[in-house]
A and B are shown apart, each in its own frame.
Chain A
């Protein structure tokens, strides 16, 4: 059975990766284009126009934006995950959560192959990757992956029952993007608003990644908070998914 599940996940993920840029000429570069373009825009606004005081601002932007793209893309695609696979859901009995797993893995793969670009920016700003990454990155990657998987599964499931979820999620993600210290550093948030960082489920993840790319350090506090968020999200989404999964075939 284990071999079967392994094969199923690998093939579904491979399909997602293959299909994504099958008909485009620039392929892989499109997954870089979006965060790089955003970085350019924010650089212009915050460095050129309003002159944010921060060292290596571009590198800071890049390190947050690529992670954000992984989170954002996965959750946005997940709204339509089961509806897009309606014929499969209706006729074939396979573990439905594997579609969410493969979504997160293929988007995660995209993120992984964008790390060399982040390293390129690091080198430009005289930062150097550390050997410690080999331990740090897998840990943070797994915790982030669990969080994204849980939220994607939750959104995909709920969207079958309330199609409005799709719109709501788009709005919420935009809101959370600006509430997360991606385009401004934590140090610029006034003390009395710092609590927002703890309410925003994505903030600890982004902060952990930024700390990793900018200072080669694993911030244990934020990592721990991330872990708690991921764990709670996993439990809640698995519970809801298991309660509702038998209705999927009736609703798609």
Chain B
């Protein structure tokens, strides 16, 4: 089964620094053309497939287009041309605790965040204890999260995301959250997902971790797909860039 499929995907970002609504109305056609042409390339003609149970690392330099790729998989971005196909529930571990509200308690945020990530309320309530236990927040869970440290926030966000029972995990540089002990724990959780045969797409600059975890890499360089396949070869190519 194919989990993620990119077919000749090209992504341009539109830049919007118009002269505002006044200019836009007065010179509608000129401004409209300007907006259309004022864009920059993020990904050019990329095709790849991620099969079920694949653990894929996406590597590349800063600004190469890795996060754009994840955004396209997560469905928050739409390709300018080409096709992106995704089968299965995604757990985006992209920015932990996206949408947390500082004035709500940890528990309230878990419920809200869980729903935003695609769980029904019933599902969350049944997993609530396990989420709280995994986050190791103890009695802090009923405090407003504005008093949390950044490590505590990430732990909570990570906890919710891994409890969504995903088919596909998208991980973007988030394994360095919390203290040493929690980092170990979150890594173990990821390996647990791997053993369970989940599909994992992993973006990281931690090449050691990529080599350790992934069975396959995709190397993106200057918005193009430079290499896909064997981890060792991919990492070698990456280090020569």
Q: Which of B52-60, B71-79, B210-218, B232-240 contacts A (4 or more CB under 8 A)?
A: B71-79
B95 touches A87 (CB 8 A): yes
Stretch of A159-167, A180-188, A227-235 lying at the B interface: A159-167
Contact call B95/A164, Cβ cutoff below 8 A = no
Stretch at the interface among A14-22, A130-138, A217-225: A14-22
Is A178 interfacial (CB-CB < 8 Å)? no
Cα(A247)–Cα(B16), bound, Å: 11
Determine the chain A residues whose CB is within 8 A of the CB of B22 once the complex forms. 164
Interchain CA distance A163-B17 in the complex, whole Å: 10
Distance in Å from the Cβ of A142 to the closest Cβ of chain B? 24
Residues 234-252 of A, flagged 1 when their CB comes within 8 A of B and 0 if not, give 0000000000001111110
- A 86-110 contacts with B by CB, 8 A: 87-94
CA distance A164 to B20 in the complex (A): 7
Q: Which residues of chain B have C-beta atoms less than 8 A from A248's C-beta?
A: 76
Is B108's CB under 8 angstroms from A4's CB?
A: no
Q: Which of A1-15 contact B (CB under 8 A)?
A: 3-4, 7-8, 10-12, 15
- Interface members, chain B 71-98 (any A CB < 8 Å): 71, 74-78, 90, 92, 94-95, 98
Question: Does A200 touch B at the CB level, under 8 Å?
Answer: no
A94 and B14 form a contact (CB under 8 A): no
Other-chain contact of A91, B74, B103, B104, B122 (Cβ < 8 Å): B74
Of residues 177 to 204 in B, which have CB atoms within 8 Å of A's CB atoms? none
Which listed residue, B20, B90, B95, touches A90 by the CB 8 Å rule?
B95
Known: A7-B121, A251-B16. A19 touches B74 (CB 8 A): no
Interface of A is mostly: helix
Interface string of B6-44 (1 = CB under 8 A from A): 000000011010101110100000000000000000000
Interface size on A, residues (CB 8 A): 33
Contacts of A12 in B (CB 8 A): 112
B50 interface contact, C-beta 8 A: no
Judge if A23 is at the interface, Cβ distance under 8 Å.
yes
Q: What's the Cα separation between A85 and B98 when bound, in Å?
A: 9
Taking a contact as CB atoms under 8 Å apart, the answer to whether A87 and B120 are in contact is no
Residues of chain B from 97 to 126 with CB closer than 8 A to chain A in the complex: 98-99, 101, 103-104, 108, 111-112, 115-118, 120-122
B99 contacts which of A3, A87, A250 (Cβ < 8 Å)?
A87
Q: Which residues of B contact A19 (CB under 8 A)?
A: 101, 103-104
Contacts of A26 in B (CB 8 A): none
Query: Which chain A residues border B78 with CB–CB below 8 Å?
Result: 246-247
In Å, the complex CA distance between A250 and B16 comes to 10
Contact B92 A92 (CB under 8 A): yes
Given the known interface contacts A22-B103, A91-B95, A168-B21, the answer about A249 and B115 at a Cβ–Cβ threshold of 8 Å is no
Please determine whether B98 and A88 come into contact, CB atoms closer than 8 angstroms: yes
The 3 closest A-B pairs by CB, nearest first: A246-B78, A93-B75, A88-B99
